[in-house]
């Protein structure tokens, strides 16, 4: 016991320093390990207060990670501040740490608004259609770029750099940058034309003279299209804004038109039955086929068949549904013709040799 007391008395002058170090560690670890629970608690309380506002949860979710990072930075600041209490010579770094804390706050706030920009723009527009989502994504990117510029200016200002001098320098070199960025500017205006004219939106199946595919993204500079060979093509907006575009996704119906040949030996009554029966069969699908477009006629005498012309519009426009409907109708036509004893023709030739006829 005596030895223990002597040991403590020998190192008693170190206890205050150890206490400051311990408190610094506690501050840092406390902020680090409690950052997620504290963030979730604060955001949950804010969500309850803002529950009347649309998309409040989605907007607040954008601030979750930035807030966690900010709490870690606060823990670092508090730890250093506590160490300066026990080690006064460290006080010289506190101005730097104060700048570090301010920059951390700026970065956290800007990061949060960048992540929350899409739901904020959506809430302001008050719509959630596919076309509006394209506009939301476009406007959100513009807002994000402006926020990044604002954050850069604020951070530079916190470091003590003269902002006015930098702005003057930018003004002197503005002409050079404008000339170098003329293509980017034309692409930006092309993107604005696409958004304003609304020829397509994300998810649409479009076709240009050069390619065909599904729009996956529209950015400030370009539009990304996923072709049917699963290749991604990036097209400058200025190019798309000045070319013809077919938007297949905006079809209200798809045409089906084909010729069905039956053999020449088909009796006339069965030919009438085939025409009338196929017409009735198509009329039995009012939800899938436009009734006013149905046309079934005995059209012509072909080279080896009596040709029936079948024409209608399918109300299913997506590729898979359209092909499924065509398959269903074709099977029904085949079953019907088999039922009434009408044979579908195939290419044949009749050869005459002397008095013998062979087929």
Task: Give the pTM.
Answer: 0.54
The interaxial angle of helices 182-197 and 130-158, nearest 10 deg, is 140
The interaxial angle of helices 268-283 and 319-340, nearest 10 deg, is 150
β-sheet bridge partners, residue 261: 307
308: tokens are 């029936």
Over residues 279-321, the pLDDT tens digits come to: 999 999 999 999 999 999 999 999 889 999 999 999 988 888 8
DSSP states of 235-282 = EEHHHHHTS--EEGGG-S-EEEEEEEEE-TT--HHHHHHHHHHHHHHH
pLDDT of residue 55: 77
- 93: CB partners within 8 A, 6+ apart: 80, 84
pLDDT of residue 72: 93
Over residues 199-250, the pLDDT tens digits come to: 888 888 899 988 899 998 887 778 899 998 889 999 888 888 888 889 888 8
CA distances to 187, 234, 252, 288 from 247, in Å: 21, 18, 11, 21
pLDDT of residue 10: 55
- State how far Cα 178 lies from the chain centre: 30
pLDDT of residue 320: 85
| pLDDT-flagged residues of the chain (< 70) | 1-14, 125-135, 162-185, 187-188, 196, 354-359
Which bin fits 224, alpha (ψ -120 to 50), beta or left (φ > 0)? beta
221: tokens are 């500079």
CA dihedral 285, 286, 292, 297 (to 10 degrees): 10
């Amino acid at each position: 016991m005596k030895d223990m007391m002597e040991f403590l008395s020998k190192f008693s002058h170190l206890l205050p320093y150890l206490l400051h170090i311990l408190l610094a560690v506690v501050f840092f670890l406390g902020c680090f390990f409690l950052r997620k629970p504290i963030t979730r608690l604060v955001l949950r309380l804010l969500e309850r207060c803002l529950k009347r506002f649309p998309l409040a949860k989605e907007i607040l979710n954008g601030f979750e990670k930035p807030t966690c990072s900010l709490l870690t930075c606060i823990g670092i600041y508090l730890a250093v501040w506590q160490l300066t209490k026990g080690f006064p010579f460290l006080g010289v770094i506190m101005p730097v740490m104060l700048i570090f804390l301010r920059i951390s706050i700026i970065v956290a706030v800007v990061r949060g608004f960048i992540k929350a920009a899409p739901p904020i723009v959506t809430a302001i527009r008050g719509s959630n259609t596919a076309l509006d989502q394209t506009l939301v994504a476009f406007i959100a990117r513009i807002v994000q770029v402006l926020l990044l510029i604002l954050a850069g200016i604020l951070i530079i200002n916190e470091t003590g750099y003269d902002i006015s001098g930098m702005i003057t320098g930018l003004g002197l070199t503005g002409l050079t940058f404008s000339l170098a960025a003329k293509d980017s500017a034309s692409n930006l205006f092309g993107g604005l034309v696409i958004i304003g004219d609304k020829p397509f939106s994300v998810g649409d199946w479009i076709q240009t003279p050069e390619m065909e595919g599904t729009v996956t993204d529209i950015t400030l500079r370009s539009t990304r299209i996923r072709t049917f060979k699963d290749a991604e093509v990036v097209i400058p907006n200025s190019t798309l804004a000045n070319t013809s575009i077919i938007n297949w996704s905006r079809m209200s119906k798809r045409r089906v038109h084909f010729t069905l040949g039956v053999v020449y030996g088909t009796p006339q009554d069965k030919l009438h039955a085939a025409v009338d029966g196929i017409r009735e069969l198509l009329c039995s699908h009012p939800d899938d086929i436009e009734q006013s477009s149905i046309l079934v006629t005995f059209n012509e005498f072909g080279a080896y068949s009596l040709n029936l012309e079948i024409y209608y519009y399918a109300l299913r426009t997506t590729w898979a549904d359209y092909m499924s409907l065509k398959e269903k109708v074709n099977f029904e036509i085949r079953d019907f013709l088999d039922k009434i004893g009408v044979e579908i023709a195939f290419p044949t030739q009749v050869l005459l040799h002397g008095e013998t006829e062979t087929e």
